Amino acid sequence: MAKKILVVDDSQTVRAYYRKVLEAAGFELEEAENGCEAIEISLQHNIDLFLVDINMTGVTGIDFLKEIRERPELQAIPAIVVSSESSTDDIVQSLATGANLHLVKPVPPKLLLEVCRILTGEVGSNG
């Protein structure tokens, strides 16, 4: 059964890029434009990994991470922050809030697939 990734990013272009790369590798995707929508989707679907942008209108990626880490049914799901924010403070904040990894955009497809496979337990399924 394919692992399901929830992409949380307000950019339709970014979400389309993730969809193209990850679906070609066998992942299923759900999409959310902001953290509020992402919480709703997370509670309705069995998500295996979150890919989260920090800067979004309304509920930000940091707000979303705080929320999922407080919910017992969501707190164990791994999360990767993928953001243009690259300062040490931004990275520390992402990790302290509950991200398993902080990557800086743009993320090359090979790296994106590698970290998604590792955090979903799919390592070795395609090489």
Give the chain's domain count.
1
- pLDDT of 16 reads 97
125 in a structural domain: no
Which residues are CB-contacts of 68 (< 8 A; sequence separation ≥ 6)? 39, 42, 50, 74, 75, 77, 79, 98
68 in a structural domain: yes
116: domain CATH number is 3.40.50.2300
Identify the domain containing residue 51 by its residue range. 4-120
- pLDDT average, residue stretch 80-101: 95
103 in a structural domain: yes
76 in a structural domain: yes
Whether 118 contacts 3, CB under 8 Å: no
Does the pLDDT value for residue 125 go beyond 90? no
Average pLDDT across the chain, whole number: 94
126 in a structural domain: no
- pLDDT average, residue stretch 77-101: 96
42 in a structural domain: yes
127 in a structural domain: no
Prediction pTM value: 0.94
